[in-house]
Amino acid sequence: MAQVGNSAASRDIAYHVHGYTNLKKHEENGPFIITRAEGVRIYDDAGNGYIEGLAGLWCTGLGYGQERLVEAAANAMRNLPYCHSFAHMAPEVVIDLCEKMISIAPEGITKVLFANSGSEATDLAVKLIWYYHNAIGKPEKKKIIARLKGYHGVTVAAASMTGLPHLHNDFDLPIDRILHTDCPHYYRFGEDGESEEDFATRCADNLEKLILDEGPDTVAAFIAEPIMGAGGVLVPPATYFEKVQAVLKKYDILLVADEVINGLGRTGNMWGSQTFGLKPDMMSTAKQLSSAYIPISALMISDKIYQGLVKESEKLGLFGHGGTYAGHPVSAAVALETLKIYEDEDILGHVGRISPRFQDGLRAFADHELVGEVRGVGLIGAVELVADKASKQSFDPKAAVGAYCVGRARAHGLILRPIGDSVAFCPPLVITEDDIDELLAAFGKALDETASWVKNEGLAA
């Protein structure tokens, strides 16, 4: 092995493989090293502070330095640092968390299964969909329909449901029995003269056609994020979920709501399903469940699904699923305290009060020469950059205009995420009006600098 320097950067290049990173460029350029965080800001190894405009990875809802969560973890570590839930074992704090989660769940959700990440939770949904249909005597009803540009994780089944090519390419995905239907992005895929409602009807009609082409007796479930996160913060067109759910009901197809990003206040309600009128049979959650202070996720299910699990486990002798760290007592304690903070500090009320300032501020950029669309709900949004506003023409992906804009934002003390040429925003739920104003001002500077760069590089249409 070649000699490795003592700096953190050289050691990172030598030993660490980064996700969602061009590994060759990382070898050449090295890491952006973060050393501490407080409130809604993170700090690099040179002491520079940045507003975390994406709440980490859409997850640190309560920001950084929440002492109640630190104490909850420390106390749990002292009291019960580990206990599993196999063979009737039950950490008391996990029981408390389950009860609390069901108390705030949408109507019809009655049971909780735990995992460690959003990817695992949606992967578990696939297993249960197949298991449930075996239990009810429909072994051919196994196909799962997801959506193009949807994001459901990186495990084999979850990445297969994800409708983003870079999660499939050369991983030999998607696996069998996973199908994809239209991305409901009206700005990009609506036809000339077509209203949002008409576009939603077309999406629902295409979904029904896919079901009929495959055979309704073979299609088990449909999975959807209320707002599509990593696909570009795509807000559903008017009447979309109403029409889609009518199709699902017609053919007895389960609805799985992926609430990993949407859930726990992000859209202004406790769940994105409530914001957009979804009535799921299963619902995944993670990220803001512990404000990302410690890994934990959950799949929440209806009693109909649970009764199928009971029936099949009785036949087989046990329910053959579980995880060493699923429902870890320390994670459960932190999640339970997180939910208490959401209530004690009226986080939903805060989001309701502050989100108009955030959304109005983003929409003020709609007239900018580079901006094609601004979209969002609550404290999540995106600004899509285009080469030509009139035609909606995108930039050449190789130009990486979105990434350039995000780099300029970082230079002004703001962390954002490029999704192609859409710039995603998802600040901590505890962000203040002053912080929002600072966030918007930094992005405005970055946007103007990006426009100048685009002109200098001759990238505009």
One domain, residues 137 and 179 = yes
Sign of the CA dihedral running 296, 302, 304, 310: positive
Residue 22 within a domain: no
Which ranges constitute the DSSP H helices of 136-264? Answer: 156-161, 186-189, 196-214, 240-250
CA distance 323 to 325: 5
Please tell me the pTM assigned to this model. 0.96
Q: What is the DSSP letter of 225?
A: -
Residue 253 within a domain: yes
Structural domain span for residue 405: 32-65+346-457
One domain, residues 350 and 256 = no
Residue 11 within a domain: no
- For residue 393, the one-letter residue type is Q
The list of the chain residues with pLDDT below 50 reads 1
Q: How many angstroms separate the Cα of 450 from the Cα of each of 191, 369, 401, 460?
A: 29, 11, 8, 11
Q: Output the pLDDT for position 223.
A: 98
Two structure tokens written together for 344 = 């004690």
Question: Please, what's the b/e burial string for 356-387 (b: 16 or more CB within 10 A of its CB; e: otherwise)?
Answer: eebbebbeebeebebbbbbbbbbbbbbbbbbb
Last residue of a domain, one of 321, 344, 367: 344
Q: Interior CA angle at 107 toward 147 and 58, to 5°?
A: 50
One domain, residues 362 and 260 = no
One domain, residues 206 and 148 = yes
One domain, residues 272 and 350 = no
One domain, residues 56 and 74 = no
CB-count exposure of residue 138 (10 Å: 0-12, 13-18, 19+): middle
One domain, residues 121 and 265 = yes
One domain, residues 174 and 317 = yes
Give 21's contacts (C-beta < 8 A, 6+ positions apart).
none
Identify whether the C-beta of residue 250 lies closer than 8 Å to the C-beta of residue 204: no
Residue 452 within a domain: yes
One domain, residues 331 and 393 = no
Two structure tokens written together for 236 = 């559903």
Read off the CATH number of the domain in which 43 is found. Answer: 3.90.1150.10
Last residue of a domain, one of 344, 376, 408: 344
Sign of the CA dihedral running 129, 131, 134, 136: negative
Three-state SS letters, 34-57: EEEEEECEEEECCCCEEEECCHHH
For residue range 232-290, what is the model confidence (pLDDT) as tens digits? 999 999 999 999 999 999 999 999 999 999 999 999 999 999 999 999 999 999 999 99
Q: What is the DSSP letter of 377?
A: E
One domain, residues 132 and 247 = yes
Last residue of a domain, one of 315, 344, 373: 344
Identify whether the C-beta of residue 346 lies closer than 8 Å to the C-beta of residue 160: no
Q: Output the pLDDT for position 312.
A: 95
One domain, residues 220 and 323 = yes
Read off the CATH number of the domain in which 294 is found. Answer: 3.40.640.10
Q: Output the pLDDT for position 389.
A: 94
Q: How many angstroms separate the Cα of 149 from the Cα of each of 191, 196, 345, 397?
A: 18, 18, 35, 16
Tally of structural domains, the chain: 2
Q: Output the pLDDT for position 2.
A: 58
Give 177's contacts (C-beta < 8 A, 6+ positions apart).
142, 143, 144
Residue 331 within a domain: yes
CA distance 55 to 69: 17
Nearest partner of 31 among 55, 6, 14, judged by Cα = 14
Half-sphere exposure of 53 (CA within 13 A, CB side): 27
Task: Say what the alpha-carbon torsion angle 358, 359, 363, 365 is, to the nearest 10 degrees.
Answer: 20
One domain, residues 373 and 307 = no
